[in-house]
Structure 1
Amino acid sequence: MIKKDIILDGLNCASCAAKIENKVNTMKEIKSASFSFATKVLSIEYEDSLGFEAILDKIKKIVNTLEPDVIVKTKNYYEELGRHNHPIKDECCSGHDHSHGHSHGEGSHSLLNKKNVRIALGALLFLGGVILKQNQYIQLPLYIFSYFLIGGDVLLRAARNIMRGQVFDENFLMAIATIGAFAIKEYPEGVAVMLFYQIGELFQDIAVERSRKSIKSLLNIRPDYANLKTEEGLVVTKPELIKVGNTIVVKPGERVPLDGIILEGESMVETSALTGESVPRRVKAGDTILSGFVNTNGLLNIEVKKEFGESTVSRILDLVQNASNKKAPTENFITKFARFYTPLVVIGAALVAIIPPIVTGEAFADWLYRALIFLVISCPCALVISIPLGFFGGIGGASKSGILVKGGNYLEALNGVDTVVFDKTGTLTQGVFKVREINVAEGFTRSEVLRLAAMAEIHSNHPIAKSIIEEYNGEVDEGLINSYEEISGHGIKANIEGKEVLAGNIKLLHREGVAASQLDSSGTIVYISIDKKFAGSITISDIIKEDSAKAIKALKKQGIKKLIMLTGDLDNVAKQVSEELRLDEYYSELLPEDKVNVLERIKETKSEKGKLVFVGDGINDAPVLAMADIGVAMGGLGSDAAIEAADVVLMTDEPSKLSEAISIARKTKKIVLQNIILALGVKGIVLILGAFGVATMWEAVFADVGVALLAVLNSMRVLKTK
């Protein structure tokens, strides 16, 4: 399956965007299509065997039919998000003059474009008509001229769309409503409604673009250039052209363009754009450094370890882009609701215009006026614009705090969390193990036990193994290791210098027929056997993170019902950590498959609507991360496996980020609900008042564009995550 991104530049009409998305989804070549209103990106998935050019041509025809003034182009998404000062030429596939109102362009960012000047002249003529109300021979022509100056583009688009079979759009509805006002001789109101509709659309477009820019500024971590070190000196080039193994130079004040290892130099780097951490880090030669960091003072020579497409900053931007395609249930509901809302209100308008005059014998003009009010507020733009912006803003704000959420569906799901299950090592504890004690059995020496244990663990990446190797602190001749076997959930079995060495838990020794008794300790114990004889034990301790207690306290304050820990450690170690952090439950001595079984049982006990979160390292815990309602990877910065396995990635080692993620999710949901209530509430009230002859078309215009503007402005509040 191939995924491609297509930019629909100038598409600011949310209901129009929904039509395009629905139409593209009906294409037999397309498996799925999703349009992000916040980024203007249409993401499509299709089979490998199908050519992209043929699919693109069909999409161009759909866009050209529905919105001919929208520019369709393919472009690297990272450039769209982050490249402001060094633009790369786009590959435009189709397009016309940016002159599509609602506004699909025509320099909507400039107040002095042709459209706005035309509206201003129309407003002056309208004002002249109001002043000269005593002279009908002058007044009426002024109203007519001002009407066409202000709303001529709306009428033109309405006529053009009718010819394409697109009847129930906002242009048609506004045209019918204002022409209807002229028909019943409400000339000033017809012009005024069109004028304030156009002004409202202008401010709405400005607010939408400002919201988009605010979201993009949160993600403006893409480096614009790289200083490539060559024999001739430094060459400034695009990060995409740098190869693995090249050396780049990052000067003070510059953003690190690619992931790599520092060869020379020492500096403080600002990591807040990726992790949300306000305190700079000190880096030196030999340290790993990630793209997106900002070098603050020293000069750094860096060997590139990943090409730009695989770098941390690319993965983060790609993740946030994809997040807008995984829509929240609320978004999907509003999209479906919008399809029925407009036709129902139009049908209601027709009934209001026809039935009451027939039944009561009242003047047809009065009820037609009331019906026109229905038409003015029959567009659901306030909902269709503000809700996607709200969710995308929440995702963008979370990423600024070092929390990557893979979709609006997961952001919304965080609102319903009632059970959180933590892995222990590296999540609640530092995962930095130190050898605390070495005990040896009779007939063996401390140095012998430690040396053979270190040799047995030399191929393991487990923190416990690394602590033993670090404690040994000597040269390990791997040629002396004749065989090596890692037994999942038990430990290591190796043949070293002709001796059978076992290093693992008590289960490993018992499994291999070695007589040994379980020891009592608050640390993790590695039992050592040499040639089927118990040789001794190494006690290793892990330290609870300072942030863990804060995280547990915050989650309980947020109303999380159960906080549970799973670990492969011994019961006494797990019990100590659980009691210190005041967790509700813990499960110890679990093999990887045991964690899956335990999580299944926990899921069965939680409430039906409640969501279960599993927090792990994203590498060893992939099965349980996938099984949980929401999988959260801890310390995922720079980890491909963490980003791949989890639904949410906390880019620092702070468990309290989960509580912050829940807070952001709740704030986002609150703002989204406010917009739904605001839009439907105001529109519903004005519909009722209009039906009873209380509301006028002025209130109807406010219920349409005014409410949409307020909803967009309200959505921007979600960008403030603190």
Structure 2
Amino acid sequence: MQEYIINGLLIVVALLAVILQCIGARANSGMTKKQKVMLWRILAATVLLLGLQVLGAAAFDQLGAAGRWVRLACYLVDYAIIGYDILQKAWKGIRNGQVFDEHFLMAIATLGALALAIYENGDYLEAIAVMLFYQVGEWFQSYAVGKSRRNISDLMDIRPDYANIERDGKLEQVDPDEVEIGSIIVVQPGEKVPIDGIVTEGVSTLNTAALTGESLPRDAKAGDEIISGCVNMTGVLKIKTTKEFGESTVSKILDLVENASSRKSKSEDFISRFAKIYTPAVCYAALALAILPPLVRMFALGLDAGWETWVYRALTFLVASCPCALVISIPLSFFAGIGGASKAGVLVKGSNYLETLSQTKVVVFDKTGTLTQGVFEVNGIHHSEMENAKLVEYAALAESASSHPISKSLQKAYGKEIDRSRVSDIQEISGNGVIAKVDGHTVAAGNDKLMKRIGVDYINCHSVGTIIHMAIDGKYAGHIVISDVEKPTSKQAIRALKDAGVQKTVMLTGDAKQVADQVAQDLGVDQVYSQLLPADKVEKVEALLQEKPEKAKLAFVGDGINDAPVLGRADIGIAMGAMGSDAAIEAADVVLMDDDPMKISTAIKISRKCLRIVYQNIVVAIGIKLICLVLVALGFANMWLAVFADVGVMILAVLNAIRALFVKDL
């Protein structure tokens, strides 16, 4: 009965190999050359083994005394076809002092089974079938890993091959590394943006899916900042580069993804340590199983030793003990998790950070540029002694020498090109504001401290925002209200974090208390600290780390240069990647490529799904492995059943690991 089952399975394997070869031939990129060769080996070994089974031992008996050795030679050829690489790897491991691995276990078990069959002039089918089914499992594992790598590679296929520079009226393709900062590059429809820059000419739409996971196209026009890795879809764009290729967004993303696998999680370290202890242990256990029971039977019980039975059990024990499912599926689970996160626009720098992210219970936010857009707008003019437009004009001219966001918002509200010839005697007073001569008038623009400093009575404002008090020629002229704009998804992001199991949200900001409290209340943030300097933020995070539950992790989300120290101090740092500073991205462990705070809860859910898969694989693989080893030791499972259990668990674990790539259901 067992022989019929094995023959049936061999036919299925042969048919499967033929089908996969046909699929691979039609879809040229479906399999690697090595995988195709392995499939041909599986097919050849299966067909030869089936042929030998059909012929049977009786056919060789007709050759007389030589028949036995001809039959053995045929089976050895079959064994060599399917198992020569396993034997090579086992021998290489022995030579390098790394004896105890799955190749060694499989080589010893199958060679031992062949030796027993030769000694007893028995059936060689089992030893070769074991190696064959093991190689089938190895092929499935190789194909699954390759598929996950191709998915990530396709997803991150954003490396530009060239940049277009216009010379003598013609476009010339050059290596992106050769393009200097300040150069004008031309990006035509269908091409990737090779380097970060500012659009100087043209209107188009951009596909940012590879960077952000966002399928909706984005508009681009003159004056807009544009990051590398996007695909230009419609019009021709001329872009003035602001970074070298090596410092551009696309280079940083590729570097993060390529180096992510070097940072291993605790689970991966555990599996590595487990395998180093487990494999030698089962080898010694198999040796004990082969020797001790026969000796006990001989000397203690006076029975026949039954060496053949116990050696066979020991060899079967070795086959069943292969830790392939654990060693392969756990790193693959994290690799797939990182790939799934990348697909959603979240770059995780290593599997250790993915594991930490899954345990996050406290999320601390910087305000400006994280929960708000970092775009200040004039949204009110109060108590003006002149036309509102004129007051804004004076404020914009007085602030024209400053690069502060407040100054930029005043200049934007003015809406005209600044005529610097109208401004003189600019005096910037740190922490107060600016005093300047505008059209011969002394204009003071700043906070209440500046008004007190120059002795001008001012009118308090009860609006939330930054208040710019104005005085012209020593007389109060009104005040301008400027406020940051909340990101449209910030409120939803806080709610999503609560739904994802985050216990506490905190906001840290250097803004005034009134402004900070208003934003925190609007968004639903649990706790807020205002009027903080960068060093104060580090102290607050230190305090929050002390307050949180022991096993909970704290994440800090920021975007500016001043957030870099806090990002490094938190259990896990999350940076805004699209508009965030290079320092913040460098210091962070996780980067959100579209600056959307909603992606934080997505990242946490992805990490938790990945860890669930890891724990599922660990429990199932170890549990089935232990049950199988006990059954083998007690004689209830033979070698081919052991390899089926081992290969089956490995295939299930690998397929389960691949689920981490898919994030649409989160």
TM range (shorter): 0.7 to 0.9
Q: Tell me how far 1:242 sits from its aligned partner.
A: 3.6
* Structure 1 residues 368 and 516: alpha-carbon distance in aligned structure 2, compared to 1, 3 A threshold: farther
Amino acid aligned to 1:130: Q
Equivalent residue number for residue 15 of structure 2: none
Equivalent residue number for residue 586 of structure 1: 528
Q: Tell me how far 1:610 sits from its aligned partner.
A: 1.0
Task: Kindly indicate whether the alpha-carbon contact (under 8 Å) linking 2:399 and 2:434 is maintained by their aligned counterparts in 1.
Answer: no
Q: 2:33 aligns with which of 107, 110, 120?
A: 107
- Specify the SS of the correspondent of 1:350: helix
Task: Kindly indicate whether the alpha-carbon contact (under 8 Å) linking 1:455 and 1:478 is maintained by their aligned counterparts in 2.
Answer: no
Residue 79 of structure 2 corresponds to residue 147 of structure 1 = yes
- Specify the SS of the correspondent of 1:541: strand
d(CA) in 1 for partners of 2:93, 2:556: 50
Task: Kindly indicate whether the alpha-carbon contact (under 8 Å) linking 1:312 and 1:638 is maintained by their aligned counterparts in 2.
Answer: no
Q: Deviations 1:270-329 (Å, cap 9, x if unpaired)?
A: 111112222111212333322211111222233444332222211111111122222222
Amino acid aligned to 1:659: S
d(CA) in 2 for partners of 1:242, 1:668: 40
Residue 267 of structure 2 corresponds to residue 325 of structure 1 = no
Equivalent residue number for residue 48 of structure 1: none
Equivalent residue number for residue 416 of structure 1: 359
- Specify the SS of the correspondent of 2:347: strand
d(CA) in 1 for partners of 2:424, 2:256: 43
- Specify the SS of the correspondent of 1:422: strand
d(CA) in 2 for partners of 1:674, 1:639: 39
- Specify the SS of the correspondent of 1:653: coil
* Structure 1 residues 459 and 311: alpha-carbon distance in aligned structure 2, compared to 1, 3 A threshold: same
Show the 5 A alignment for 1:252-291. 252-291=189-228
Q: Tell me how far 1:686 sits from its aligned partner.
A: 1.2
Q: TM-score, with normalisation over the residues of structure 2? A: 0.83
Equivalent residue number for residue 300 of structure 1: 237
How much is the aligned-residue C-alpha RMSD, in angstroms? 3.3
Show the 5 A alignment for 1:292-441. 292-361=229-298, 362-439=305-382
Show the 5 A alignment for 1:525-674. 525-527=467-469, 536-634=478-576, 636-637=578-579, 639-674=581-616
Amino acid aligned to 2:361: D
* Worse-superposed segment, 522-531 or 663-672: 522-531
Give the structure with the higher percent helix.
2
Task: Kindly indicate whether the alpha-carbon contact (under 8 Å) linking 2:577 and 2:585 is maintained by their aligned counterparts in 1.
Answer: no
Q: Deviations 1:134-190 (Å, cap 9, x if unpaired)?
A: 526455443333223332343344345434434223333222101211233252211
Q: Tell me how far 1:551 sits from its aligned partner.
A: 0.8
Q: Tell me how far 1:660 sits from its aligned partner.
A: 0.8
Q: 1:124 aligns with which of 13, 35, 47?
A: 47
* Structure 1 residues 155 and 648: alpha-carbon distance in aligned structure 2, compared to 1, 3 A threshold: closer
Residue 602 of structure 2 corresponds to residue 676 of structure 1 = no
Equivalent residue number for residue 14 of structure 1: none
Number of residue pairs the alignment of both structures matches: 614
Task: Kindly indicate whether the alpha-carbon contact (under 8 Å) linking 2:102 and 2:323 is maintained by their aligned counterparts in 1.
Answer: no
Equivalent residue number for residue 433 of structure 2: 492
Equivalent residue number for residue 63 of structure 1: none
In our comparison, the structure showing a higher alpha carbon Rg is: 2
Amino acid aligned to 2:281: L
- Specify the SS of the correspondent of 1:613: strand
Task: Kindly indicate whether the alpha-carbon contact (under 8 Å) linking 1:260 and 1:305 is maintained by their aligned counterparts in 2.
Answer: yes
Amino acid aligned to 1:650: L
Equivalent residue number for residue 11 of structure 2: none
d(CA) in 2 for partners of 1:121, 1:434: 73
Amino acid aligned to 1:181: A
Task: Kindly indicate whether the alpha-carbon contact (under 8 Å) linking 1:251 and 1:298 is maintained by their aligned counterparts in 2.
Answer: yes
* Worse-superposed segment, 202-211 or 125-134: 125-134
Task: Kindly indicate whether the alpha-carbon contact (under 8 Å) linking 1:679 and 1:703 is maintained by their aligned counterparts in 2.
Answer: no
Instruction: Give me the identity figure in percent.
Output: 53
d(CA) in 2 for partners of 1:511, 1:374: 87
Task: Kindly indicate whether the alpha-carbon contact (under 8 Å) linking 2:227 and 2:578 is maintained by their aligned counterparts in 1.
Answer: no
Structure 1: runs of 5+ lacking an equivalent: 1-83, 86-104
d(CA) in 1 for partners of 2:474, 2:259: 54
* Structure 1 residues 299 and 664: alpha-carbon distance in aligned structure 2, compared to 1, 3 A threshold: same
Q: Tell me how far 1:359 sits from its aligned partner.
A: 2.3
Q: Deviations 1:471-503 (Å, cap 9, x if unpaired)?
A: 34462538955565564xx44355658999775
Task: Kindly indicate whether the alpha-carbon contact (under 8 Å) linking 2:102 and 2:324 is maintained by their aligned counterparts in 1.
Answer: no
Q: Tell me how far 1:555 sits from its aligned partner.
A: 0.9
- Specify the SS of the correspondent of 1:217: helix
Amino acid aligned to 1:144: L
Q: 2:115 aligns with which of 183, 188, 207?
A: 183
Show the 5 A alignment for 1:207-246. 207-231=144-168, 233-246=170-183
Q: Which runs of 4 or more aligned residues in structure 1 lie more than 6 Å from their structure 2 counterparts after TM superposition?
A: 444-449, 497-502, 508-517, 529-535
Q: Deviations 1:323-361 (Å, cap 9, x if unpaired)?
A: 222222212222222221211111111122122222244
- Specify the SS of the correspondent of 2:259: helix
d(CA) in 2 for partners of 1:553, 1:566: 18
* Structure 1 residues 700 and 624: alpha-carbon distance in aligned structure 2, compared to 1, 3 A threshold: same
* Worse-superposed segment, 234-243 or 502-511: 502-511
